[in-house]
Structure 1
Amino acid sequence: MTDRLEIKAALAVTDQGEITGTAWPFGSPDRVGDVIEKGAFTGPATLPMLFSHDPAQVIGVWDEISETDTGLTVKGRLLVEDVERAREVRAMVRAGAVSGLSIGFVTKQARRHAKGRTISALDLHEISLVAVPAHPGARITSVKSVTSNGVPDMDNEDHQTPASAPDIDTKAFNAVLARLDKLEARTGRPAAPAVAQDTDQPERKAFITFLQSGQIDQKALTVANDAPAYVLAPEETAGEFIRNLVEFSPIRSIADVRTTGSHTILLPKRTGITNALWVGETAPRTASEPTFDQMEIAVKELATHVDISLRMLEDSANVEAEVRLALAEDFGQKEALAFVNGSTALEPTGFMTAPGIAETNNGHAANLSADALIALLYQMPATYRNRGTWVMNGTTLAAVRRLKDGHGNYLWQPSYQAGQPETILGRPVVEALDMPNIASGATPIIFGDFRAGYRIYDRVALDVLPDLLTQRTSGLARFHARRRVGAGVVRPDVFRKLKMAA
């Protein structure tokens, strides 16, 4: 089993930043069918607290991590006194905008089953605060605060209504609660721990019927405008599909990902700045103007089909999940390759093939140099260096892990040291399978601020079209799927490659 960091997802916070919650409930699967058994968790006594699994957003530390009969319970603290982002996240938690917990781990032992995995051993790397956790039951459980007189107040506890409080219209209040519950379900927020209840939603029922019979419920489903006869997957289905892509396409976790309603995105680009000069009190001033250009990112289409036996279609209680899982790996692998090395007119432009990215020579054609990595890091402007991420494949990462500086210290630091994520020279590292290997003339490592420099635009998350006729003589049903996404480098100056050359 490969060592790949996985992301899985209850939560509470004080003015001092104390947080408690359940990071993983036992006894029920997450949104992709995975179950983690009690006793599976191993890891350090303390872990970094991240926001949305972003290694650049360390907002606190988890001090207490333990397994109980109900799940993995945690207690930690936001660094509200020292980190501005931690104060912002505390406000989002108390407002209810962020209410979930999600875990990042490497699977060590697991068993596959029809709807996911049963994981019996894993290494826990980090725990994040998120808006939508992977497990519906992984949520903040209490939110403490401190009043102006210093008396603790439990924000999530029930309070008795003061005698002077105005009368409440109970019927209207209940109606508002019902509407909020529906909105919460539609946006994918985990309102209830029972995953099986998802199939009660009209959209999900209609989508399953569409996959099994081809019949379209116009009231519950949406037909794609740019592809007649294709049906857009329900909101939660599309969301789960995107989360699967992150596992195979790690670039999504560090790039700037946006949505678009167009087939082409035009981005204004400044190519020059004004030229101010020092002048005397009455000396004439020289006029200057900045110059501008524009760049274009075109939305591309990724398509495939998968065949499923008619018996599986008839017997499966969750055929929509079967289709999604069958398509996710293929789509994810192709997308990951394009984001790194895409160069043809039919695919997004990869950051390794984009023009204008500077290079730093390694000093040797075959052996990685620690001095070259240090030089590359500090050749970047400080603003982007401090937000940068290393990207390389596993073979290169293994070589980097053996490098030491002049004092005998390893350049690579594991995620469980000093409450930080896995780093090289203090900056996080992402493993991308499709990066080049170490070889003469190759560029196996790139460093840069991907949030500022690489843009991904999602046009269509997932369209599915069932074909129940053409393959029927073979006992199969064919499902056609398509996805539209565009990507490209918008700031070459925030990246730098390491080239294996003297």
Structure 2
Amino acid sequence: MTELATMRSPETKAAEAAPSSLEVVTAFDDFMRSFEAFKEVNDERLAEIEARMPDAVTSEKLARLDDALDRQQKTLAELTTKARRPALQAADGHDHAAPREHKAAFDVYVRRGEVSSLKSLESKALAAVTDAQGGYLVPEATEREIGRRLAEVSPIRAIASVQQVTTSVFRKPFATDGFAAGWAAETAARVQSATPNLDELAFPAMELFAMPAATQTLLDDAAVDLDRWIAEEVETAFAEQESVAFVTGDGTTRPQGFLTPPKVANSSWTWGKIGYVPTGAAGAFAAATPSDALLDLVYALRSGYRRNATFVMNRRSQAAIRKLKDADGRYLWEPPATAGATATLMGFPIAEAEAMPDIAADAHAIAFGDFRRGYLVVDRIGVRILRDPFTAKPYVLFYTTKRVGGGVQDFDAIKTLKFATS
């Protein structure tokens, strides 16, 4: 976001039109045709392996089709996301949800740097602004649009729980030994239950920033929708940073990722750790029955979590999975049933997160779990913007910040597949 030469201007962004339904349907049809060709060539490759006559030409052709599938799947996802994205407005479909006065004052600040209108809002106790050093809060409609866009393009946020807070740390109590419960007849005496041992999980909100740029000439153009431009510009930067933090974040300068806690064999699982299932081969699936490890992973998760579970992996791991079949010769990976849907593995949806590690020795390259119950994203309310016309003349920079936290809230709801013998 800081590379000014590669920035898209508000004028360029405003000119981009939403894709038509025909474009989405065409992209989906192309993707399905590529997948059928992929299966045909992969079947040929497997037959050559069984006959102990592998052909390099077949392998090369399969690799090309695999790359094409990845590109088409990405294009299809982008088109469907843009097609279903609503206009910048309130949830009830009207622009009046955010105070018009705040929106107008904020527009003047962004375009010309004038703060008098925002200061007057503060004097009216509308709590709409902060001091100039910290930046000014964006209108509520713009903040909602940023949150909605992040939910669409940030893979872990899309499947996790999201909690909005007004404090810097969200604390969630839990019972380390569970709460006592039991059955009793209507008139029978109730046995006093033991006092539970309580602890708490803390989710501090860390600062996330982006710095889109524009020229003053473009900002002076009244036709440019600045609210939409800001939401679109920070969407990519915020989503990329969140995608890494929610997977591998250290919990110190960024949210804690779900792969950060200690990991143990699922048979030895205890609270505070993430259980894993080994594939049986270092850096690979087992040669004889590769799908068995995925079955073990699915059933390592308790049934209460399993019904809402999702696989999480990067595109390279997904490419390896696409080649696998079950004992009856059926492909484990299935393409999305319709445009806008997600691919599935053994009937469970797949979330593609590029921050997940590649398949390698001892890598936890695939995760499976109920992330809605297992992982919590904490959003501190308020997105701030500080206008900077001095640092990168003739560009005007907009230092945009929001505070985000995250971490595992139920350590039994997420399991991983470890590419190792044990």
Q: What residue in structure 1 maps to residue 223 of structure 2?
A: 317
| Offset at residue 299 of structure 1 (A) | 1.0
* 1:343-397 residue CA offsets vs partner (Å, 9 max, x unmatched): 1511000011123000100111132321001011111111001111110000101
| Offset at residue 256 of structure 1 (A) | 0.4
Match of 1:243 among 148, 153, 174: 148
1:371 counterpart letter in structure 2: D
Say whether residues 1:501 and 2:416 are aligned partners.
Answer: no
Gaps of 5+ in 2: 1-12, 30-71, 184-190, 263-272
Distance (whole Å) between structure 2 residues aligned to residue 205 and residue 439 of structure 1: 53
Q: What residue in structure 1 maps to residue 394 of structure 2?
A: 475
Change in CA separation of 1:248 and 1:39 when aligned onto 2, cut-off 3 Å: closer
| Offset at residue 34 of structure 1 (A) | 3.5
Change in CA separation of 1:310 and 1:325 when aligned onto 2, cut-off 3 Å: same
Distance (whole Å) between structure 1 residues aligned to residue 160 and residue 384 of structure 2: 24
Q: Is the 8 A contact 2:165 2:379 kept in 1?
A: yes
Gaps of 5+ in 1: 1-29, 46-104, 111-118, 128-132, 137-184, 279-284
Greater fraction of residues in helix? 2
Say whether residues 1:363 and 2:280 are aligned partners.
Answer: yes
Q: Is the 8 A contact 1:248 1:336 kept in 2?
A: no
Say whether residues 1:37 and 2:20 are aligned partners.
Answer: yes
Distance (whole Å) between structure 2 residues aligned to residue 263 and residue 399 of structure 1: 41
Q: What residue in structure 1 maps to residue 47 of structure 2?
A: none
Determine helix, strand or coil for the equivalent of 2:223.
coil
* 1:258-291 residue CA offsets vs partner (Å, 9 max, x unmatched): 100111111111111467999xxxxxx7963332
* 1:433-475 residue CA offsets vs partner (Å, 9 max, x unmatched): 110000001010000111111111110352111123454xx32
Distance (whole Å) between structure 1 residues aligned to residue 303 and residue 20 of structure 2: 45
Q: Is the 8 A contact 2:136 2:386 kept in 1?
A: yes
| Offset at residue 235 of structure 1 (A) | 1.6
2:233 counterpart letter in structure 1: A
* 1:392-423 residue CA offsets vs partner (Å, 9 max, x unmatched): 00010111111111111111222218x98532
Determine helix, strand or coil for the equivalent of 2:166.
coil
Q: What residue in structure 2 maps to residue 209 of structure 1?
A: 108
1:309 counterpart letter in structure 2: T
Q: Is the 8 A contact 2:258 2:407 kept in 1?
A: yes
Distance (whole Å) between structure 2 residues aligned to residue 274 and residue 347 of structure 1: 32
202-211 vs 387-396, which moves further: 202-211
* 1:204-229 residue CA offsets vs partner (Å, 9 max, x unmatched): 33322111222232366854458865
User: How many residue pairs align between the two structures?
Assistant: 340
> What TM-score does the superposition give when structure 1 sets the normalisation length?
0.59
Q: Is the 8 A contact 1:212 1:313 kept in 2?
A: yes
Change in CA separation of 1:273 and 1:411 when aligned onto 2, cut-off 3 Å: same
RMSD: 3.9
Q: Is the 8 A contact 2:90 2:97 kept in 1?
A: no
1:134 counterpart letter in structure 2: R
Determine helix, strand or coil for the equivalent of 1:253.
helix
Say whether residues 1:305 and 2:226 are aligned partners.
Answer: no
Within-5 A mapping of 1:156-175: none
Q: Is the 8 A contact 2:137 2:385 kept in 1?
A: yes
Q: What residue in structure 1 maps to residue 170 of structure 2?
A: 265
Q: What residue in structure 2 maps to residue 55 of structure 1?
A: none
Change in CA separation of 1:204 and 1:288 when aligned onto 2, cut-off 3 Å: closer
Q: Is the 8 A contact 2:250 2:260 kept in 1?
A: yes
| Offset at residue 495 of structure 1 (A) | 0.8
2:301 counterpart letter in structure 1: M
Change in CA separation of 1:277 and 1:316 when aligned onto 2, cut-off 3 Å: closer
Q: Is the 8 A contact 1:266 1:295 kept in 2?
A: yes
Q: Which has the higher contact order (CA 8 A, sep 6+)?
A: 2
Distance (whole Å) between structure 2 residues aligned to residue 467 and residue 267 of structure 1: 38
> What TM-score does the superposition give when structure 2 sets the normalisation length?
0.70
Q: Is the 8 A contact 1:223 1:229 kept in 2?
A: no
Q: Is the 8 A contact 1:198 1:204 kept in 2?
A: no
Distance (whole Å) between structure 2 residues aligned to residue 226 and residue 309 of structure 1: 24
Distance (whole Å) between structure 1 residues aligned to residue 218 and residue 379 of structure 2: 31
Q: What residue in structure 1 maps to residue 199 of structure 2?
A: 293
Change in CA separation of 1:362 and 1:229 when aligned onto 2, cut-off 3 Å: closer
Change in CA separation of 1:311 and 1:377 when aligned onto 2, cut-off 3 Å: same
Percentage of pairs with the same residue: 31
Distance (whole Å) between structure 1 residues aligned to residue 99 and residue 306 of structure 2: 49
Change in CA separation of 1:107 and 1:251 when aligned onto 2, cut-off 3 Å: closer
Within-5 A mapping of 1:41-440: 41-42=24-25, 108=75, 134-136=85-87, 187-191=90-94, 201-216=100-115, 217-218=117-118, 223-225=128-130, 230-273=135-178, 288-315=194-221, 317-318=223-224, 319-355=226-262, 356-368=273-285, 369-416=290-337, 422-440=343-361
Change in CA separation of 1:229 and 1:334 when aligned onto 2, cut-off 3 Å: closer
2:241 counterpart letter in structure 1: K
Greater fraction of residues in strand? 1
Change in CA separation of 1:384 and 1:277 when aligned onto 2, cut-off 3 Å: closer
Determine helix, strand or coil for the equivalent of 1:262.
coil
Determine helix, strand or coil for the equivalent of 2:281.
coil
248-257 vs 220-229, which moves further: 220-229
Q: Is the 8 A contact 1:359 1:498 kept in 2?
A: yes
Change in CA separation of 1:226 and 1:497 when aligned onto 2, cut-off 3 Å: farther
Change in CA separation of 1:298 and 1:108 when aligned onto 2, cut-off 3 Å: closer
Q: What residue in structure 2 maps to residue 146 of structure 1?
A: none
1:384 counterpart letter in structure 2: Y
Q: Is the 8 A contact 1:467 1:480 kept in 2?
A: yes
Q: Is the 8 A contact 2:98 2:140 kept in 1?
A: no
Q: Is the 8 A contact 2:283 2:362 kept in 1?
A: no
Q: Is the 8 A contact 1:276 1:286 kept in 2?
A: no
